[in-house]
Amino acid sequence: MTAIAETPHTTLTLEALKASQPLVVQFFESALALGTLSHGYVFTGNAIEAQYALALRIAQVLNCSEPIGGLEPCGHCRSCKWLAKNAHPFVTTITRLNFDPSSMPASEFDPQRTQISTGQIGYLLDTLSLKVGNEEYRIIIFADATVHPTDETSNILPPFDWVAKQGLPTEEEVGKNKSLKKTTKPTGSFQLKPLNSDVFSVHAVNRFLKSLEEPHPRTLFFFLTENESALLPTVVSRCQVVPFRSMPTEKPSSAVLGDWFWAVLGTPRNQRINFYPLHAQFVAVAKESGGGVVELLQQLQRYLSGAGLDRWEQLFGRETALTVYCRGQAVINTAITHLQAKTNEGATLQQLILSLWGL
């Protein structure tokens, strides 16, 4: 049997993975052939979408009824078709923004949740206690995630439970009724981010640790992060660390500035005294761009006039969005004026961040 064309769950095809991550692909092809897969892996590096694509492909191969070999599933069986939609019942992606089944308490449905909750872990432990068949594997993928404006596309198809949470039509429903694509507007695109100990807190980890230490048969865990030091040592010590080749960092764009802006506004109030990481991040981006801090702030203003305003309106309504927009632009204008007057750059940016926090 020959393999069918790549399934649409990611634009990162196997050929692309082999080109960008040849050693990692070779490592897992050997592990699959020899039957030496570990129960847990920590993927490191900035290639977060490649990490996710590979984890899904491993899940597809393990659950495929007629795998071809290596990292090649058949693409035709029921499991392969489920994975093509990122909707396999035994393959779960856990981020702070998704995996909130209907049986969880209503309090767990907060769209502004900043951590993977203990409620999510509790539900996961219940599902792990259920037996799987002799030919099926349960795959759990931990990552962080954010929601970008709808005009910023992602290279991955989001987990099915997140799509359902947004009230969006499935591919099958769109196929039956083409008008759904025109009449249904998503609230944003699902974007993966590296996991860290702030998102996967010690409370959630402690509740989950025994299952990681004594895993159920035919169960694999993947933790997607940029650096193993960003995770709690109790997680890393129970897994095998697999470094991914770093991808080139693109020059600053509206997406980069948008991430920074939402990191400022999204910082919990009880943590807002610690503005130094955000300050350092902005300065680093400015140096990398070569255009200086003033030019970067002007780019940020353009972002707020477009995608930033749209996103804020989607989350909190037009009136609040316009209020924050006007105040934000005024704060940035003040910072630009001070910088052009050759005032202290560090103090100006610190004041900028503190002013944004007050919006």
Q: How confident is the model at residue 5 (pLDDT cuts 50, 70, 90)?
A: very low
| pLDDT digit string, tens, across residues 142-162 | 999 887 655 555 667 777 776
Which pLDDT score, from 0 to 100, does residue 60 have?
Answer: 92
Integer Cα distance of 119 and 115 in angstroms: 11
The answer to whether the beta carbons of residues 200 and 142 sit under 8 Å apart is: yes
Integer Cα distance of 119 and 125 in angstroms: 10
Cα maximum dimension of the chain: 70
According to the per-residue pLDDT averaged within each range, which of 37-46, 98-107, 121-130, 350-359 is highest?
Answer: 37-46
Average pLDDT estimate for 111-127: 80
pLDDT > 70? residue 252: no
Q: How confident is the model at residue 100 (pLDDT cuts 50, 70, 90)?
A: low
| pLDDT digit string, tens, across residues 208-220 | 888 888 888 889 9
Element (H, E) at 42: strand 40-44
For 218-282, give the DSSP string: TEEEEEE-S-GGGS-HHHHTTSEEEEPPPPPPPPP-HHHHHHHHHHHHHS-GGGTT--HHHHHHH
| pLDDT digit string, tens, across residues 124-142 | 888 887 766 667 899 999 9
To the nearest 10°, report the CA torsion of 29, 136, 219, 79: 70
Which pLDDT score, from 0 to 100, does residue 185 have?
Answer: 44
pLDDT > 90? residue 177: no
pLDDT > 90? residue 280: no
Residue type, 52: Y
The mean pLDDT of the chain is 76
Which pLDDT score, from 0 to 100, does residue 104 have?
Answer: 52
pLDDT > 60? residue 244: yes
| pLDDT digit string, tens, across residues 294-343 | 877 887 777 777 666 776 676 667 777 777 778 878 888 888 888 888 77
For 78-135, give the DSSP string: HHHHHHHTT--TTEEEE-TTS---TTS-GGGG-TT--S--HHHHHHHHHHHTS---TT
| pLDDT digit string, tens, across residues 29-60 | 999 999 899 999 999 988 888 999 999 999 99
Which pLDDT score, from 0 to 100, does residue 242 have?
Answer: 93
Integer Cα distance of 118 and 100 in angstroms: 11
Q: How far is CA 281 from CA 47, 61, 86, 347, in A?
A: 19, 39, 33, 15
Which pLDDT score, from 0 to 100, does residue 9 have?
Answer: 39
The answer to whether the beta carbons of residues 27 and 37 sit under 8 Å apart is: no
Integer Cα distance of 215 and 187 in angstroms: 37
Q: What proportion of the chain, given as a percentage, has pLDDT over 70?
A: 65
Query: CB neighbours of 243 closer than 8 A, spacing ≥ 6?
Result: 24, 44, 45
Task: Write out the two tokens for 302.
Answer: 């353009």
Opening angle at CA 74, ends 71 and 75, nearest 5: 100
Integer Cα distance of 150 and 133 in angstroms: 39
pLDDT > 70? residue 171: no
Instruction: For residue 5, count CB atoms less than 10 angstroms from its CB and return exposed for 0-12, middle for 13-18, buried for 19 or more.
Output: exposed
The answer to whether the beta carbons of residues 272 and 279 sit under 8 Å apart is: no
The dihedral through the CA atoms of 357, 224, 257, 186 has a sign that is negative
